[in-house]
Amino acid sequence: MTNHSSNPFWTTDVKRLRGPWLGEDFPGTAPKELCPELLATGRYSFCTVFSSDGDEFYFATADLKQEIGHLVWMKMKPDGSWTRPEPAPFNSQWNDNDLCMSPNGQRVAWRSWRPLPGKKEPEKSSALWASDRTADGWGAPFPIQCGDEIAYGGYPGIAQSGNLYFAGRRSPHECCVYRARYDKGTYQDREPILGGMESGGDLCISPDESFLVIACWNLPENNGASDLYVSFRMFDGAWSPLQNLGAPVNNELNENCPMVSPDGRRFFFFRYNPETEESHSYWVDAAVIESLRPAG
C-alpha cells in the first residue's frame, strides 16, 4: 500500500462538515458546488459517491501532475462530524478510479489497472473490480466477470436490480455502453445497449434503470469539450438517442463523471477547465434530467 502520510491532502481540515451529505444544503435546479474546501484543493477530486443516507462519502483523487488515481472515503461520526479523507479499504498502490456504489450500499465497483489474481504486473487495459460490504467493513476486492470473461472497461454503474452497466470499446473508433444482467449472484454475458459514440465513457445509471447519463466529447456541438448526455429507456426496452443535458449543467468547459444518488433525487458531476487546470464538483436536483424525458 502506498504511504500517504506525507501528503497534505489526507490532513484536510473537515471541522466545518457536520451532518449528512457533508452538511451541504440540498441544491435546487441550479448546480451548486459541492464542498469546495475538500474537492477543489489543487487536486483532481472526482467520481463523487454517497451512501443512501448521505453518511458515507467516496471519491477518486489524483495529483494534478500525476495520472495515478486513488480511492478515498470519509464517514460521518455519531456526533455528526466527519472523519478526514483517507484511502478506502479497497484502494491499491495501482491506478484506481471510476468508483460507484450499488443503491443498497452493499457493493462498490471501480476501474483499476491492478494485477489480476495470479499476476504480478499491472494490466495494460483497465478491468472492473468490486468489493462487498461485510459486518466489519469491506471484503477483499475481486475482479468482475461477465459470464466467463473478465469485464474490461471503465466507469461502472450498478442499478437497484444489481444489473451492471459500464463503458468499453466495441471497435477502435466506437465507444459502447454495455449491460451485464445480474442473476443468482453472478453477472451474465455483457450486451451492448448504446453505441455510435466515437469518444465517451464516464457514465451513471439511475437506480431504476430508466435513464443513463454519459459524457461524450469531440462532438461538433461542443467544440471538442466534454458534455453530459442522457438516454432514456423506452417502453419497448430500447434506449432513446443521446440528448445533450444543456444548461445549466453543461457549459463551455468539460463536464464528466456523472453520478445519481441512491434515491434518484440528486445528480452529481465534475467540471474541469483545461486551460487553468481548475476542477470543481457540483450537484443539482435530478429534476433537470427528468425534465428532458420524452413524452409518452
Of 113, 110, 122, which Cα lies nearest the Cα of 71? 110
Residue percentage of the chain with pLDDT more than 70: 88
R_g (Cα) of the chain, nearest Å = 18
> What confidence score (pLDDT) does residue 9 get?
56
Residue range 258-270: average pLDDT? Answer: 95
> What confidence score (pLDDT) does residue 47 get?
87
From the number of C-beta atoms within 10 Å of its C-beta (0-12, 13-18, 19+), residue 251 rates as middle
Q: What is the DSSP string of the chain?
A: ----TT-GGGG---TT-BSTGGGPPPP-SS-EE--HHHH-SSEEEEEEEE-TTS-EEEEEEEETT----EEEEEEB-TTSBBPPPEE-TT--SS-EEEEEE-TTSSEEEEEE-SPPTT--SPPSS-EEEEEEEETTEE---EE-EETTEE-B-EEEEE-TT--EEEEEEEETTEEEEEEE-EETTEE---EEEEEEESSEEEEEE-TTSSEEEEEEES-GGGTTSEEEEEEEBPTTS-BPPPEE--TTT--SSEEEEEEE-TTS-EEEEEEEETTTTEEEEEEEETHHHHTTSPP-
> What confidence score (pLDDT) does residue 275 get?
85
Residue range 271-277: average pLDDT? Answer: 85
> What confidence score (pLDDT) does residue 100 get?
96
Residue range 230-234: average pLDDT? Answer: 94
> What confidence score (pLDDT) does residue 3 get?
43
HEC sequence for 120-148:
CCCCCCCEEEEEEEECCEECCCEECEECC
What are the tens digits of pLDDT across the range 139-157?
999 999 999 999 999 999 9
Give yes or no for a contact between 56 and 71, defined as CB atoms under 8 angstroms apart: no
- The answer on pLDDT for 249 being more than 80 is yes
Q: Which three cell numbers stand for residue 50?
A: 454517497
> What confidence score (pLDDT) does residue 22 get?
94
Of 205, 229, 193, 232, which Cα lies nearest the Cα of 102? 205
Please, which pLDDT band fits residue 199 given cuts at 50, 70 and 90? low
Residue range 81-95: average pLDDT? Answer: 92
Half-sphere CA count of 159, side-chain side, radius 13 A = 18
Q: Which three cell numbers stand for residue 52?
A: 443512501
> What confidence score (pLDDT) does residue 6 get?
46
Whether the pTM exceeds 0.85: the reply is yes
> What confidence score (pLDDT) does residue 5 get?
44
- The answer on pLDDT for 2 being more than 60 is no
- The answer on pLDDT for 1 being more than 50 is no
**Is the CATH number 3.40.50.80 carried by domain 8-290?**
no
Of 41, 37, 94, 49, which Cα lies nearest the Cα of 67? 94
Q: Domain residue spans in the chain?
A: 8-290
What are the tens digits of pLDDT across the range 169-186?
776 667 889 999 999 999
What are the tens digits of pLDDT across the range 112-148?
999 999 999 999 999 999 999 999 999 999 999 999 9
Instruction: Give the Cα separation of 54 and 51 in Å (integer).
Output: 5
